[in-house]
Amino acid sequence: MYPYGPFQPHQSAPQPGPTHVYYTRGPRFMCRGPSRLIWFGIGGITTYWFIQSRERKREMLMSQADDTQRAGHCHSAWGWGRWGDHRREMNEAQQKMEDHRRKVQEQFADFGNLSSDKLADMAESSLDSVMSSVVALRALSSEQHRKLLEFSTKGGSSPCLIYFAFTTTSTTLYWTMATLAHFKVPQIDNEPMHSYAPGSSQRAGLEAALAQMQKDLPFEVPCIINGKEVKTGRIAKQLMPHDHANHLCTYHEAGPAEVEEAIKGPKCPAAELASGKYRYQLMAATMLGQGKNAWQAEIDAAAELTDFLRFGVKFVEELYQQQPAKNSPGVWNRVEYRGLEGFVLAVSPFNFTAIGGNLSAAPALVGNVIVWKPSPAATYSNYIVHKIFTEAGVPPGVIQFVPVHQQMLFSRSAIAHPDFAALHFTGSTHVFKQLWKDIASNMDKYKGYPRIVGETGGKNFHSFTLLLMSIAWSNNLSARLSSTKAKSAPLCLVYTSRLLFGMVASRISYSMEIGKISVGPPTDPKNFVGPVIGKPAFEKITSYIQKAKDAGGEILIGGSGDSSKGYFVQPTVILTKDPKSVTMVEEIFGPVLTIYVYDDEEFDETCKLIDSTTTYALTGSIFSNDRAALIRATNLLRHAAGNMYYNEKCTGAVVGQQPFGGARASGTNDKAGSISIFYRFVSARSIKEGFAELGDFIYPSNLV
């Protein structure tokens, strides 16, 4: 028996489960429940047909069930019911449902034997007709939206839901969703079979369709490859077996080249292009344009960009699966996650090629259109990323690539537009705050309240406590300085206990072999540290080093720079006695590390100092061989970092493993590389669909 309508168990929400599932190598077919939920998937394309009965008899039974619940309930093993007047009717309805189920099983029993080609033909022809009918219903058509999700992962799923409602008198097409369609569909009934009896509306409709088709034949059918019609000129015919002198259609046969292109299509999304075809081109552009060495370019432009794209699709699928937990009898509840009404402005930084790709791709994956302004210092690598998106199938106009040198002038112009819907930003805290103010000043122009997502500055810290071996100090300091070039980022602070520092002080000159690290052009493999991003950065970094000297700081390593040919700054380590010195407080964004030594008994006070010294809260690390100290520091530094590490350097977050983002002046902490970021770029719509007649508006409490 099936828990639907009057047979709905009260103790849990309906859980749709497949009655039959057949898989072939390419397309797939699924029949669900006592009615039909048909699903075709071809190489990443997924289309749903939900064939829903609105039979009057079932609505009456639901209405009777409502009456039953009002009159008194009795719990049985199969749901709610009253062992009274309605028992016979409900048993008869149950038997009819069983009969329908058997008919559906018999009808679809041979679907598992259908060839992949046949199923592909069925799904492709349906997609073609459906997409043409819905293209005008949304700024992004279903076909475009399908490509958006398909481009990011091999075999990705389509966000296209097509809903067919067949009534007893007419057939109506409703295009209701543009989401991945992981709905908790209520248990459903079979579609009643039409009799096509003489004089019936079904007979009339069918005869009209046949007459029109015979009038219009033969039809021309092209190949459809990567969303484009391909007419090869190699014509074949589909004959009609009842009249083989005539043919239903001519079709353009695919040759070896077309077949090869079609096979490559689903296997060549953006992630595959970034990790394969364009890998070295991306890395070279990142090295030459942004000064990273080969390894840092690899983990950025190749690895992280690919991860953002692949995991992004997984996170979107998880997002669409978030559906209401409960469906009352005779009701289907679901949530549609729509793209925002307007455009998303993506403003990306110079220091990560991958971030530029993710700032634009993440909103696009959930149905938004993007205006992407790359950093002038990362224009070419970001241009290659955009080429990858285009080659992968992102429709024209979905991601607009607009390099502009005057960032604030352009951003303010975009923000002032009435269709501005969201800001996706990575850059300096100062610029982000200014853009936020500009958004606030334009609030009366917008259709809604814009979403603001930003990752900004940071002043990351490492804190050492208790008796770690001196080798740990040496190794970590090396790792610490190496990470200063990992992101060209503000990885600036080390807090160490006096006892630990004293133990290794005699070894500093030896352990500071890091001072001999080669600095130079990234094209030379021996150079570990490349240039800073430009003249303004060079002047800012060297000025902070001078300020530290003037304030009494001791330069342990480095301290110099050379801008004669390139903008090179030697890795610099400063020892300070003032925890509020300028290099302890302000963001530098260069290879400068400041050490502060605290008294061993002042561990708690030092944690509070770390928490209050800067306005940032991006990342931090605690190094200790005492688990209690780790937990203590974590609690005291609860809001000091968005990403916390134990006995690990505080950089190198991996997509899908450590969601990344900071709070306070470091950003909105929406966690790139996780499902959280996608919630910011969708507008949820809750839909409740009832299948029973509306009852009296009078409440039972009004009865006397």
DSSP letters of 543-607? HHHHHHHHTT-EEEE---EE-SSS-EE--EEEEES-TTSHHHHS---SSEEEEEEE-GGGHHHHH
Is the distance from CB of 532 to CB of 538 less than 8 angstroms? yes
DSSP letters of 186-202? PP--PPPPP---TT-HH
* Token pair for 595: 């050490």
Q: Which amino acid is at 199?
A: G
- Residues with Cβ within 8 Å of 635's Cβ and at least 6 positions away in sequence, in order, are none
User: If you search the block for the tokens 């342990």, which residue do you land on?
Assistant: 556
**Secondary-structure breakdown of the chain: helix, strand, coil percentages, each rounded to the nearest 5:** 40, 25, 35
Question: Whole-angstrom Cα distance, residue 249 to residue 219?
Answer: 4
Question: Whole-angstrom Cα distance, residue 90 to residue 3?
Answer: 12
Helices (H), 305-349: 305-320
* Token pair for 236: 């074949």
Is the distance from CB of 480 to CB of 593 less than 8 angstroms? yes
Task: Considering only CA atoms, give the Rg of the chain.
Answer: 32
- Residues with Cβ within 8 Å of 431's Cβ and at least 6 positions away in sequence, in order, are 407, 408, 425
- Active-site residues, by number, are 455, 492
Is the distance from CB of 511 to CB of 503 less than 8 angstroms? no
Question: Whole-angstrom Cα distance, residue 561 to residue 162?
Answer: 62
Label residue 273 exposed, middle or buried (CB < 10 Å: 0-12, 13-18, 19+).
buried
CB atoms within 10 A of CB 20: 14
What distance, in Å, lies between the first and last C-alpha atoms of the chain? 38
Q: Which helix (H) or strand (E) holds 412?
A: helix 407-415
Q: Rounded to whole angstroms, what are the CA distances from 144 to 159, 361, 399? A: 10, 14, 12
The string over 538-558, giving b where at least 16 C-beta atoms fall within 10 Å of a residue's C-beta and e elsewhere, is: beebbebbeebeeeebeebbb
CB atoms within 10 A of CB 297: 26
Q: Assign 3-class secondary structure to 202-253.
A: HHHHHHHHHHHHHHHCCEEECEEECCEEECCCCEEEEEECCEEEEEEEEEEC
* Token pair for 95: 């038997």
